[in-house]
């Protein structure tokens, strides 16, 4: 197989036009959320961008819910990973209820659920959703969806994971090709990624087309300052100027170092790990890409020991469509994902269940030994702020990337 080519990425401006359209839509929806009058129930935060309080079903009865869901007959759930088809198949096998799982990018899901809610013609009953800021700032704020939690499990799930309901965490991590670098990852520090030696050699999905990278940037600005400053001192032997935001400084430096921006994680992984690859590159990819080691004979490993983190965890949240005609089936699907049988369908390449009483996936990406210690972990308390800072952070990246 020939080594990866970036011709498909650079050939035309079509993809960038589609990204621009998506961003314009997101901006319009955000403006609508900010201007619309609040319809929050009594006792809920009346800020239009604040998430509605979760519905904790204190009278939860699993048998009664299953019986009602069977009467409804079916359920459709959208997710940004193809693993949703496995979850749907397992759900149908367990409960005898027809479930359809649809892989959809978060931006497409946001648009479709919003339009369906406005039209009163809902086909998406629930979503497993990876973009926390738009979930909190748009879908929940506009009552397009709501958070539902079975009362019997509420005590097992930390409060920080309930609003919105976190069902799973996956990871984006820095990888290298061990065949080209048998002594280990050539990048030891996140500031190395901004070093001239790695100019044009860092592959990653375009942040303007992948919301959780922008969220990562915002989370870094809010919660990564101390670690980034220490990593800077370790590399350069001096302090980062105290007046600078460490997060903003790193984002600007990375953008200016001309990273190779791709339209998908598939392309970023191929840039590093595809068979016969000879280029000395590193890449930021989802842990799901490690299935390509077996499926495509890729050579890839997590940058073990990279300081202060080898990547970041990104949460996946569950939400039920407010106007669904299958509310019981949608709730049952959420409940299923909070059990071992359900979450196991999405742990084929690893991950951390949102319900901490469940076991983590037995498969671990090569080089990753501890999800919480090696990866930066998002703070869900910052989701509303992340939503507010979406455009400024996109502009920061856009203005500094060559």
Confidence tier at 275 by pLDDT (50, 70, 90)? very high
Average pLDDT, the chain: 88
Within the chain, which residue ranges are assigned CATH 3.40.190.10?
Answer: 37-169+314-380, 172-313+395-400
Residue 242 confidence (pLDDT) = 79
Residue 24 confidence (pLDDT) = 39
Residue 129 confidence (pLDDT) = 97
Q: What is the 3-state secondary structure (H, E, C) of 234-287?
A: HHHCCCCCCCCCHHHHHHHHHHHCCCEEECCHHHHHHHHHCCCCCCCCEEEEEH
Cβ neighbours of 72 (radius 10 Å)? 18
Q: Which residues of 333-348 are buried (b: 16+ CB within 10 A; e: fewer)?
A: bbbbbbbeebbbbbbb
Q: Which residues of 134-170 are buried (b: 16+ CB within 10 A; e: fewer)?
A: bbbbbbbbbbbbbbbbbeebbeebeeebbbbbbbbbb
Q: What is the pLDDT of residues 169-181, one digit of tens each?
A: 999 999 999 999 9
What's the average model confidence in pLDDT over 267-289?
96
- For 16, the token pair is 């960038």
Q: What is the pLDDT of residues 341-387, one digit of tens each?
A: 999 999 988 899 999 999 988 788 999 999 999 999 999 999 999 99
Confidence tier at 42 by pLDDT (50, 70, 90)? very low
Confidence tier at 17 by pLDDT (50, 70, 90)? very low
> For residue 35, is pLDDT > 60?
no
Q: Which residues of 56-65 are buried (b: 16+ CB within 10 A; e: fewer)?
A: bbeebeeeeb
CA distance 54 to 149: 7
> For residue 51, is pLDDT > 60?
no
What's the average model confidence in pLDDT over 107-132?
97
- For 300, the token pair is 């890839």
> For residue 329, is pLDDT > 80?
yes
CA distance 339 to 342: 5
Residue 20 confidence (pLDDT) = 40
Q: What is the pLDDT of residues 123-168, one digit of tens each?
A: 999 999 999 999 999 999 999 999 999 999 999 999 999 999 999 9
Q: What is the pLDDT of residues 309-320, one digit of tens each?
A: 999 999 999 999
Contacts of 293 (CB under 8 A, 6+ apart): 273, 299, 300, 366
- DSSP classification of residue 179: T
Helices (H), 120-210: 132-134, 151-154
> For residue 31, is pLDDT > 80?
no
Please say whether the structural domain 172-313+395-400 has been given the CATH code 3.40.190.10: yes
Residue 48 confidence (pLDDT) = 44
CATH architecture of 37-169+314-380: 3-Layer(aba) Sandwich (3.40)
Q: Which of 204, 289, 211, 257 is nearest to 9 (CA)?
A: 204
Dihedral class, residue 254 (left if φ above 0, else alpha if ψ from -120 to 50, else beta): alpha
């Amino acid at each position: 197989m020939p080594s990866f080519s970036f011709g498909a990425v650079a050939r035309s401006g079509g993809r960038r036009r589609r990204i621009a359209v998506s961003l314009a839509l997101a901006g319009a929806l955000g403006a609508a959320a900010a201007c619309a009058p609040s319809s929050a129930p009594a006792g809920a935060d009346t800020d239009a961008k604040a998430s509605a309080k979760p519905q904790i079903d204190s009278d939860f009865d699993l048998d009664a819910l299953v019986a009602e869901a069977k009467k409804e007959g079916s359920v459709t759930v959208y997710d940004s990973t193809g693993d949703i088809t496995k979850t749907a198949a397992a759900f149908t096998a367990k409960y005898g209820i027809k479930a359809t799982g649809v892989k959809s990018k978060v931006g497409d899901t946001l648009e479709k659920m919003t339009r369906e809610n406005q039209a009163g013609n809902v086909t998406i009953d629930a979503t497993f959703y990876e973009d926390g800021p738009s979930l909190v700032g748009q879908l929940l704020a506009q009552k397009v969806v709501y958070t539902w939690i079975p009362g019997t499990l509420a005590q097992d799930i930390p409060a920080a994971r309930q609003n919105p309901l976190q069902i799973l965490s996956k990871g984006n991590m820095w990888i290298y090709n061990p065949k080209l670098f048998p002594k280990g990852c050539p990048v030891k520090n996140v500031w190395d990624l901004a070093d001239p030696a790695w100019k044009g050699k860092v592959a990653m999905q375009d942040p303007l087309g992948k919301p959780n990278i922008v969220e990562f940037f915002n989370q870094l600005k809010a919660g990564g300052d101390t670690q980034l400053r220490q990593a800077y001192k370790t590399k350069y032997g001096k302090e980062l100027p105290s007046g600078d935001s460490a997060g903003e400084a790193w984002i600007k430096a990375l953008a200016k170092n001309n990273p190779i921006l791709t339209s998908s994680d598939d392309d970023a992984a191929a840039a590093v790990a595809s068979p016969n690859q000879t280029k000395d590159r590193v890449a930021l990819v989802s842990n799901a890409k490690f299935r390509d080691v077996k499926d495509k004979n890729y050579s890839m490993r997590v940058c073990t020991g990279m300081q202060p983190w080898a990547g970041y965890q990104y949460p996946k949240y569950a939400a039920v469509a407010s106007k669904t005609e299958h509310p019981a089936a949608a709730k049952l699907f959420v409940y299923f994902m909070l059990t071992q049988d359900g979450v196991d369908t999405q742990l084929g390449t690893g991950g951390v269940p949102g319900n901490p009483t469940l076991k983590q996936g037995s498969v671990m990406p090569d080089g990753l030994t501890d999800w919480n210690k090696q990866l930066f972990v998002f703070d869900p308390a910052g989701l509303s702020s992340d939503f507010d800072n979406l455009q400024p952070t996109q502009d920061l990246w856009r203005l500094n990337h060559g």
